[in-house]
Amino acid sequence: MGIFSGLFKSRDKPQNRTAGNNYTFFMGGTTSGKTVTERSAMQMTAVYSCVRILAEAVAGLPLHLYKYTDDGGKEKAIDHPLYRLLHDEPNPEMSSFVFRETLMTHLLLWGNAYAQIIRNGRNEIIALYPLMPNKMSVDRDENGHLFYTYYRGPDEAIKNKDLAVTLQPSDVLHIPGLGFDGLVGYSPIAMAKNAIGMAIACEEFGAKFFANGAAPSGVLEHPGTIKDPSRVREAWQSQFGGSSNSGKVAVLEEGMKYTPISISPEQAQFLETRKFQINEIARIFRVPPHMVGDLEKSSFSNIEQQSLEFVKYTLDPWVIRWEQSLMRALLAADEKAAYFVKFNLEGLLRGDYQSRMNGYAIGRQNGWMSANDIRELENLDRIPAEEGGDLYLINGNMLPMRDAGAFANTTPNDSGKEEKTDEEVLEVEEPGTDGDGSGGEDSVSQRHHRRGKLV
């Protein structure tokens, strides 16, 4: 590291915490009074829905390893060992979909995704296994080199050194989320724990509201003295408590009177608060509200546009983060110039059938798409090359720029039309001639007659 070794000491190690004490977030305390952790946040339907949408979207995209060809194009590197690991089966225990879905879930909840890289004796990658982010810590040694420590214990709160395993950066696939040091990402749940805590509080309030009979709490007033108030309260609760008892008619004896003392949910705007918190959580993950079931401000005219914006502004940054992390960790230094990893987003950007056909027609007529290019995007069989499947065609009335003046050497006639010069006419082989301009005494008149027909 040279002169830079002094810049990266243990005090500058990568950290994943909010401002203040990092133990504060570990306890999950929020201003709403509800404990919020990555696992408890998943009990919120909005959080679960957003995480599931993004994780399944990334996991469902086609993932290929490509190599550059000599003519400047690209082709799938099917023979490379990484192709099968990324596209089909990263390890014997899970498919590529499950592997990417798991890592994307870790990335959305903890802000980091880790996988152990298993190599053989020839230093070839043979497997990728997910690692839990809450059991991983990233640190620097005295020389400023990064190293990863993974704790194999069952409880994330107890980090026993006897269960610690040290991994080198070459042994870890690390996909960081948004962070302040560029090395470790910050948990979205930690950053938005107050918003999620309020949503949990609203949901709990609604559940208790129906459990208490969907009626406001109040006071039972008695004109005299009650010897056993707890018995009266329990009798009232057994008769009128719970959602199954809502709507019953209460009969009060001995001059008792029931006085409600809490406001109704409508006055407290309970439903509006819950709806706002759902939108707030969707905003955290940048997911359109209609994808989590909120269709209030969506219509048939704007849902398609919102879906395209979801691909462009939400999925695309995650996909780029995945691609670059995979290339950095899995490709050797000499392979990075010849190979690259790419997710295929074309299927999500194609739009409806009519829009796709119009786009294909434009590409076909302008010569930058062949029939096989179109059929490949539509998952159809290729047309054999000898039958014209790979031909690139353009309209016949289009010329290269260099030939734009090829027919400009003409002279206008009296009528304003253009006619060819005598030299050009003489070069035309006329019918009935021998090709050298001779061939009959009327050949000159025929030639002049045909000059009129040229215009």
Q: In the prediction, which pLDDT does 452 show?
A: 43
Nearest in space to 187 (alpha carbons), one of 274, 320, 284, 45: 284
Burial grade of 170 (CB within 10 A; 0-12, 13-18, 19 or more)? exposed
Q: Of 358 and 271, which is predicted with more confidence? A: 358
Mean pLDDT computed over 292-309: 71
The gap between the terminal CA atoms of the chain, to the nearest Å, is: 80
Mean pLDDT computed over 182-201: 83
Q: In the prediction, which pLDDT does 66 show?
A: 93
Least confident segment among 173-182, 206-215, 291-300, 307-316: 206-215
Residues 103-132 have pLDDT tens digits of: 999 999 999 999 999 999 888 999 999 999
Across the chain, which distance is largest between two alpha carbons, in Å?
Answer: 142
Least confident segment among 91-105, 206-220, 391-405: 206-220
Model pTM score: 0.68
Nearest in space to 45 (alpha carbons), one of 273, 292, 284: 292
How far is residue 430's CA from residue 435's CA, in Å, rounded to a whole number?
A: 7
Grade residue 451 by pLDDT with cuts at 50, 70 and 90. very low
Other CB atoms within a 10 A radius of the CB of residue 29 amount to: 15
Q: In the prediction, which pLDDT does 203 show?
A: 74
